[in-house]
Structure formats: structure tokens, C-alpha cells
Amino acid sequence: MQEDAPKIAKDAAPTGTQTLLRGLGVVQAVASGARDLKEIARLIGTTRSTTHRLASCLVDERYLRVVPQIGYLLGPKLIELGFQAREELPLVTLAGPYLDQLSALTGDTIHLAIREGDEVLYLHKNPGRNGPEMRSRVGHRMPLARTGIGKALMLDDTQEEWQRLYEVSLPAGGKNQFWPQHPEQSWEQFQQRMLEYVAGGYAFDLEDNEPSIRCVAAPIRDASKRIVAGVSIASTVPYMPLDKMAELIPLIKGVTARLSAELGLKV
């Protein structure tokens, strides 16, 4: 009897609710690859006539479209609503709970940033509990190629673009104002690291920008698989040894994967 309970509850729902659920079922069936009424009806468990009535209504309202020789596809109304949904929920608001979770788990500084031209723009910062406070702040900008989160935002770029961004990030006079003694890595070293990061889907900052600061970063992608933002976990060297950085890779990639799913990325 308990196995039948969900079906009984669904059948007992008000007629309007049943129709709504069935209409959503049609949309979901088409999204999963169903292209004709027979397959849609099989997936949602309705008769062909009911399925035809629901699908026709959805086509009229532009939630579905019918393409000759292909069949039913998702319609332009869903695209419009998708963009509207993304615009109505700012990335910082959406990411906040995930960043708070990372902060609580690690005790390190958490950043959310986007790319603006050749620079990283920090949108959000959860200060860490480990070590001294970092000089990064919301609204702060840094060259992409000098930060872990910037490298994460560069993962889809061509090697030619990597080299351009590497070159524009080099400090004037060849010396980092925050760390004059720090030897700059060569383009070949930078390129090799970027190839490793692309293969792994993450990026590191190994004191590339300022002394004693390391971070692990990963990109956030939208429904089109385009990188739209990045998240990083950062701390000072005593709290961020290399073995800990390796352990943080799956953690941060898991968080950015969930954020990407929130933006519509289908894995």
C-alpha cells in the first residue's frame, strides 16, 4: 500500500495542479530528448490525445517549438525566462551560501570574482580565520595572470591569449612592488602550469602575486559552458602547504560545479 501512496496523492491533487504537473512533464520530456508525441506520452504516462493537447498549448505559448524532420524542441520562451532568472538573482546572492560553507569548512579566505578585460574583479570576500588578513577586498582588481582565481578564469583561453595576459601582467621594471626579491616565472613555466590547470579544471596561486599567499581556485560556468566567474580558497603558506592545496581541489571543484548547476549547466 505504501508504494501506491505517491500515485494516489498525485491523482488526488486538484485538476489544475495535475494539468500544471503534466505540462511541466512535457517540457522535461522534451528537454531529456523526446521528440514525438509517442515518446513524450510514454515518459509522462498520459494518453496520446492528452499529450497532444498539452504540447500544442505549450507550442502556442512558445515554451516548445516544432521543427520539421526533428520534432519537438524547447522554445524561445524558456530561453527568455532563463536569462531573466539569471539576471534577477545576482551571482553574489546565489553564491553566498556556498562561499559561507567553504569558509566554515576551511577557515581560509574565500573569494568570488569575475573577469573584466585583463583583470580580476573581486565581488565577494569571506575573511579567513587563519593567519593575517589579506589585502584583497571587494571591488579590488588584479591582473588575471597573477592570481589563482584569474588563472581559473583563463582556463578556456588560447595559449596565445595566455601569453598576452602573462606579458601584460609583468610588473613595471620587472619587479613586483610587494615582493621585489621574488623571481618572476618565465613564459614557458607559466604555460606549463596553465596546461596542467586546464587538464585538472583548477588553478593555483603559488605566491605569484604577493609573498606567503597561496590559493586554490576553480571556475563557475553557465548553461552555455562559458566561464562566468571563479571561486578561490586562499591563505598564508603556513596554513596552505602544497599537500593541503591538493586536498582542496575536489572540494572547491565540487562547490563550483554546484554553482554552475545553479546557473543552468547540465553535467
The answer to whether the 15-83 and 89-263 domains have the same CATH topology is no
pLDDT given at position 136: 77
Show the cell assigned to 91.
551571482
List % helix, strand, coil for the chain (3-state, nearest 5): 50, 20, 30
Fold observed for domain 89-263:
Beta-Lactamase (3.30.450)
Tell which residue, 232, 227, 236, 237, has the closest CA to residue 217.
232
Q: What's the rounded Cα separation, in Å, for the pair 121 and 143?
A: 9
Q: What's the rounded Cα separation, in Å, for the pair 3 and 166?
A: 61
Q: Any idea where the domains of the chain sit in the sequence? A: 15-83, 89-263
Fold observed for domain 15-83:
Arc Repressor Mutant, subunit A (1.10.10)
User: Exposed, middle or buried, 212 (CB in 10 Å: 0-12/13-18/19+)?
Assistant: middle
pLDDT given at position 181: 53
Tell which residue, 162, 151, 104, 112, has the closest CA to residue 128.
104
pLDDT given at position 117: 92
pLDDT given at position 217: 98
Q: What's the rounded Cα separation, in Å, for the pair 145 and 127?
A: 23
Q: What's the rounded Cα separation, in Å, for the pair 179 and 191?
A: 22
Tell which residue, 194, 89, 216, has the closest CA to residue 149.
216
pLDDT given at position 170: 85
> φ and ψ at 266, to 5 degrees?
-100, 115
pTM of this structure: 0.71
The pLDDT tens digits along the chain (267 residues) read: 333 333 333 444 446 788 899 999 999 999 999 999 999 999 999 999 999 999 999 999 999 999 999 999 999 998 788 777 666 558 888 899 999 999 999 999 999 999 999 999 999 999 988 877 777 788 889 999 999 999 999 999 999 999 999 999 887 655 555 455 566 788 999 999 999 999 999 999 998 888 889 999 999 999 889 999 999 999 999 999 999 999 999 999 999 999 999 988 887
- Return the sign of the alpha-carbon dihedral for residues 71, 72, 77, 82: negative
Helix residue spans in the chain (DSSP H): 5-11, 15-31, 37-44, 48-60, 76-88, 91-106, 148-153, 159-169, 187-200, 242-262
